[in-house]
Structure 1
């Protein structure tokens, strides 16, 4: 079962490896990224960053959807992790499980000028297209939050958008 979908520029890093994996009692992490899946260097780095005892799959978004919807995963506790809002929207649109959706750290790395983005929080900067994508996600998912750490109080993500 997918315990949570998370959008985070950094993919597997300290917050995911140390905090979220324990909080969610994960047995699997599925990294949904076409770019990461093509890079042996990035794949290996992500595998090394994962906590001991948690299996990791670094796969294209289409394969992640297939894995997430596979009924054999119903007994597993999985985190579906991606690094772009566009990928997150694709996952939300195509993964059948109702679960928490968290955007926590996105838009500060990976290129682009921060002046061309809307500052949603200290850790989330979105383009106009990404703002539209998160609005669409919010219409599909009830448990759509901003929660960087498990110890943080989840905030309904759409409440962070100015004028919403």
Structure 2
């Protein structure tokens, strides 16, 4: 598989992803990697209906994503990975999927989270996963919309928590 874009955006497929990021990626297929969504048949149906025209979408859990990545049948497929959180992105990397950069989009605020930017809030598990991804050499590019300047996620976390 050729990974053209990996993005964390807890809204998954929405206007910005459909109109900008999917085109920017140049991918043929969006693979949503989320155990929670994988188990939710209603949400899966809605996400498949929201998929950009001409793109395929699959919704899988981490073990299935790793298995598909390693299947030679899909070696030439151009893939846009979407995650709801950094923990599943980290699990994919630890499972042998090479991600050089992870783009961070929206991560909604909820109880127990710290707001890093107006669109990104994290809890302690998120921070731990981001730090581990960084240690593994994955670039963490905070860019909610394409016109936003690129920012280093670890620097933003450190600025907010210091």
Normalised to the residue count of structure 2, the TM-score between the two structures is 0.88
- How big is each residue's C-alpha offset from its partner over 1:65-96, in whole Å with a ceiling of 9 and x where there is no partner? 22233344332221111112221221222243
Q: Distance in 2 between matches of 1:122 and 1:71?
A: 41
* Corresponding residue for residue 49 of structure 1: 50
CA RMSD in angstroms, aligned pairs only: 1.8
Q: Which residue of 1 aligns with 2:84?
A: 83
Change (3 A) 1:107 1:95: farther
SS in 1 for 2:145: coil
Give how far 1:135 is off. 0.7
Q: Which residue of 1 aligns with 2:60?
A: 59
Distance 1:106 1:92 in 2: 20
1:101–1:143 contact (8 Å) kept in structure 2: yes
Flag as ranges the 4+ runs of structure 1 deviating above 4 A: none
- Deviations, residues 43-81 of structure 1 (Å, cap 9, x unaligned): 110001101110110111211122233344332221111
User: Match for residue 35 of structure 1?
Assistant: 36
Partners of 1:30 and 1:72 in 2: CA distance: 16
**Whole-Å separation in 1 of the counterparts to 2:3 and 2:18:** 16
- Does the CA-based 8 Å contact 2:27-2:78 persist in structure 1? yes
* Match for residue 155 of structure 1 among 148, 151, 159: 151
How far, CA to CA, are the matches of 2:80 and 2:59 in structure 1? 12
TM-fit CA distance, 1:97: 2.0
Instruction: Label 1:92 to 1:154 Cα distance change in 2 as closer, same or farther (>3 A).
Output: farther
Q: How many residues align?
A: 159
Task: Give the Cα separation in 2 of the matches to 1:151 and 1:69.
Answer: 34
1:118 to 108, 111, 114: 114
Deviations 1:86-140, CA, capped at 9 Å, x for gaps: 21221222243243211211132xxx41xx3222111111112221211111111
Distance in 2 separating the partners of 1:69 and 1:120: 35
